[in-house]
């Protein structure tokens, strides 16, 4: 894997201080894209979002949006669950995203954040009858976590159940669940937290889906395990099929992780990241396994437009034609 395969750029912790964004139906400076302290979503977490990556290919002179249509389809589903009216189609959202990226003239790897939220300056705890807002911002970003050798722990914080807060929607307020788990893991010296569902089965990591490998078969939790229905998760399904590897969706016990041959995370932020230790137990050989390594290799070539088999995943920003 070449140095330029993973995402290159600043940390996700870096504050975003400048740039052109889409807000209230037009492009504007991010410093003008402000809301009231009384905004409903700020007070009650009544919003939803997406995380989309775009990868720069210097040889092509092109910035490729990865699976943008799939992300915006999920974005609209999340908005529907929260009774947020988004007055744009998937194609229009993609057009505005390309406009934001072009206006910023990015020539590097970028993270894109669409956001829809209850913008009313109102105190009433409700969803219906509240004014809605939509925005899109983008910022340079490198790897969200290291892509190999992660040390994880099974969190004491339980993954939110779908009957509490919709787990298949990217609800802004729900991410306090992930933040609590992730922060506790970091304070205890781990790189990531793995969360169990209410029934004690493995759900996912704090902000990504989880896969394990046992006896050559990829295994991941089903969508009924209170997971986010990940876009990258679906990409792994496709890669596994193309590579001829068996994959099953089924419940996973906590202790199965300890005896797995390989464990890896998959998500837009984490990309594909190998886990080599869980709760002080070595996974496999203690190094990223061969299946995870191969998936990484193919994935990182695909997202930069270097594998023609997956060009439909990509939408070029500066080219004339869109894909996917």
Q: For 63-122, write each residue's pLDDT tens digit.
A: 999 999 999 999 999 999 999 999 999 999 999 999 999 999 999 999 999 999 999 999
Helix (H, G, I), strand (E, B) or coil at 76: helix
- Token look-up 């954040």 returns 113
Q: Which of 158, 161, 266, 155 is nearest to 224 (CA)?
A: 161
Mean pLDDT across 131-145: 92
Distances (CA, A) of 159 to 182, 205, 219: 12, 9, 19
**Phi–psi pair at 240, nearest 5 degrees:** -60, -45
The answer to whether 114 and 136 have CB atoms below 8 angstroms apart is yes
- Domain ranges for the chain: 20-140, 150-288
For the chain, percent of residues with pLDDT exceeding 70: 97
Q: Is the Cβ–Cβ distance between 136 and 195 less than 8 Å?
A: no
pLDDT band at 320 (very low <50, low <70, confident <90, very high): low
Confidence of residue 25 (pLDDT cuts 50, 70, 90): very high
Cβ–Cβ under 8 Å, residues 52 and 66 = yes
| Model pLDDT for residues 216-238, shown as the tens digit of each residue | 999 999 999 999 999 999 999 99
| Element (DSSP H or E) covering residue 209 | strand 209-214
Contact 170, 48 (CB under 8 A): yes
Instruction: Look up 170 and say whether it is catalytic.
Output: yes
Predicted pLDDT of residue 3: 43
Rounded Cα–Cα distance for residues 204 and 211 (Å): 9
pLDDT at 247 over 60: yes
52 DSSP β-pair partners: 112
- Quote the tokens at residue 16: 């975003």
- Rounded CA-CA distance 153/185 in Å is 7
CATH code at 150-288: 3.20.10.10
State residue 146's pLDDT score: 77
Residue that is written with structure tokens 């040889």 in the block: 59
Residue 300 has pLDDT above 60, yes or no: yes
Radius of gyration of the chain (CA): 19
CATH architecture for segment(s) 20-140:
2-Layer Sandwich (3.30)
Tell me the C-alpha distance between 82 and 76, whole Å.
Answer: 10
**Nearest Cα to Cα of residue 4 among 261, 267, 304:** 304
Place of tokens 């990940």: 230
Q: One of 67, 83, 170, 320 is an active-site residue; which one?
A: 170
Give the closest residue to 177 by CA, choosing from 192, 165, 189, 169. 165
For the chain, report the end-to-end CA distance as a whole number of angstroms: 25
Report residue 223 as tokens.
């969508």
The pTM of the full predicted model, rounded to 2 decimals, is 0.94
């Amino acid at each position: 894997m070449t140095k330029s395969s993973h995402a290159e750029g600043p940390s996700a912790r870096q504050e975003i201080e400048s740039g052109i964004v889409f807000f209230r139906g037009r492009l504007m400076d991010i410093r003008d894209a402000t809301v009231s302290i009384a905004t409903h979503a700020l007070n009650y977490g009544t919003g939803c979002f997406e995380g989309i990556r775009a990868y720069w290919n210097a040889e092509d002179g092109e910035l490729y949006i990865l699976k943008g249509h799939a992300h915006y389809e999920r974005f609209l589903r999340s908005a529907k669950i929260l009774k947020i009216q988004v007055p744009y189609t998937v194609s229009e959202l993609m057009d505005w995203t390309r406009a934001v990226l072009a206006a910023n003239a990015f020539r590097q790897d970028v993270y894109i954040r669409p956001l829809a939220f209850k913008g009313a300056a109102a105190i009433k705890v409700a969803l219906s009858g509240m004014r809605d807002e939509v925005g899109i911002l983008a910022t340079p970003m490198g790897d969200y976590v290291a892509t190999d050798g992660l040390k994880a722990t099974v969190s004491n914080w339980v993954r939110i159940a779908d009957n509490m807060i919709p787990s298949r929607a990217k609800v802004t307020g729900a991410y306090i669940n992930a933040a609590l788990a992730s922060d506790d893991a970091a304070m205890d010296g781990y790189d990531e937290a793995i969360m169990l569902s209410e029934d004690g089965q493995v759900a996912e990591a704090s902000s990504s889906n989880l896969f394990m490998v046992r006896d050559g078969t990829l295994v991941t939790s089903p969508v009924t395990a209170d997971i986010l229905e990940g876009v990258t998760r679906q990409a792994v399904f496709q890669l596994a099929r193309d590579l001829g590897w068996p994959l099953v969706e089924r419940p996973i016990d906590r202790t199965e992780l300890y005896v797995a041959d390989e464990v890896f995370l998959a998500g837009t932020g984490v990309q594909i990241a190998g886990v080599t230790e869980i709760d002080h137990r070595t996974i496999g050989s203690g190094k990223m396994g061969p299946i995870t390594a191969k998936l990484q290799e193919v994935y990182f070539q695909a997202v930069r437009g270097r594998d023609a088999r997956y060009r439909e995943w990509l939408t070029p920003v500066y080219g004339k034609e869109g894909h996917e």
